A and B are shown apart, each in its own frame.
Chain A
Amino acid sequence: MLKLYAKKGLLVRLSYLAISLVVWAGTLGGRLFGSRAVVLCYHGIRDRKADLFRRQMKAVSQRVVQLEELGDCSPRGFAKPSVVITFDDAFENLLTNAMQALEQLRIPASVYVVTDCVGEMPGWLQGSGHRDENEYLMSEKQLRVLAANPMVSIGSHSHTHPRLACLDRDGIQDELTLSRNALEKMTGQGVKVLAYPHGSYNGMVSGVAQMCGFSQRLTLDERMVHVGCADGEIGRFSMEPDAWMIEFRLTTDGAYSWLYYFRRMIRSCEKLLGK
Chain B
Amino acid sequence: MLMESGPNVVFKTIKMRLKRIFAKEAHIVLRYEQGNAGIRLMSGVAYKEYAHLSDIPVEDIRQIGETIGDQQAEKMFHLFEQGATFWLIDIEKKVVGYWWSIPGKLLKQWYIPLEDGDVVFYSAMVLPEWRGHSISPAVLIQIIEKKMPKNISVYLDVETWNESAIKAWLKAGFVQLGAYPAIDRTSSAGSC
Contacts and interface: CB of A to CB of B under 8 A. Distances in A.
A263 B185 CA distance: 12
B192 A163 contact: yes
Contacts of B26: 232-233
A1 to B, nearest CB: 11
Interface in B1-40: 17, 20-22, 25-27
A264 B181 CA distance: 13
A200 B181 CA distance: 12
B16 to A, nearest CB: 11
Given A168-B108, A203-B109, A267 B27 contact: no
Contacts of A221: 25, 187, 189
A210 interface: yes
Interface in B155-192: 157, 178-192
B190 A201 contact: yes
B54 interface: no
B113 A261 contact: no
A169 interface: yes
Interface residues of A, number: 29
A166 B185 CA distance: 12
Contact of B189 (A200, A210, A261, A268): A200
B188 A165 contact: no
A202 B189 contact: no
A28 interface: no
Q: Is the interface of B mostly helix, strand, loop or mixed?
A: loop
Contact of B71 (A166, A203, A274): A274
B184 A202 contact: yes
Interface string B100-139: 0000000011111100000000000000000000000000
B65 interface: no
Nearest to A2: B189
Nearest to A168: B108
A257 to B, nearest CB: 12
Contacts of A263: 187
A206 interface: yes
Given A2-B189, A168-B108, A202-B190, A265 B181 contact: no
A153 interface: no
B69 interface: yes
Interface in A169-223: 169, 198-204, 206-207, 210, 219-221
A261 B22 contact: yes
Nearest to B69: A274
Contacts of A202: 109, 181-185, 190
Contacts of A268: 17, 20-21
B180 A165 contact: no
Nearest to B184: A202
A272 B71 CA distance: 11
Contacts of B109: 169, 202-204
B192 A274 contact: no
Contacts of A233: 26, 181
Q: Name, among B21, B110, B111, B181, the residue most crowded by chain A CB atoms within 10 Å (CB to CB).
A: B181
B72 interface: yes
Nearest to B107: A204
Contacts of B111: 203-204, 206-207
24 contacts: A165-B190, A165-B192, A166-B192, A199-B190, A201-B181, A201-B190, A202-B109, A202-B182, A202-B185, A202-B190, A203-B157, A203-B180, A203-B183, A203-B185, A204-B109, A204-B110, A204-B111, A206-B111, A207-B112, A261-B21, A267-B186, A267-B187, A274-B71, A274-B72
- In the A-B complex, list the 4 residue pairs whose CB atoms are closest, starting with the nearest: A199-B189, A166-B192, A203-B183, A203-B180
Interface of B: 17, 20-22, 25-27, 69, 71-72, 108-113, 157, 178-192
Given A204-B111, A221-B187, 19 more contacts: A2-B189, A199-B189, A200-B192, A201-B181, A201-B185, A202-B183, A203-B27, A203-B110, A203-B185, A204-B110, A204-B183, A206-B111, A206-B181, A207-B110, A207-B180, A219-B189, A261-B22, A264-B25, A265-B21
Interface of A: 2, 163, 165-166, 168-169, 198-204, 206-207, 210, 219-221, 232-233, 261, 263-265, 267-268, 272, 274
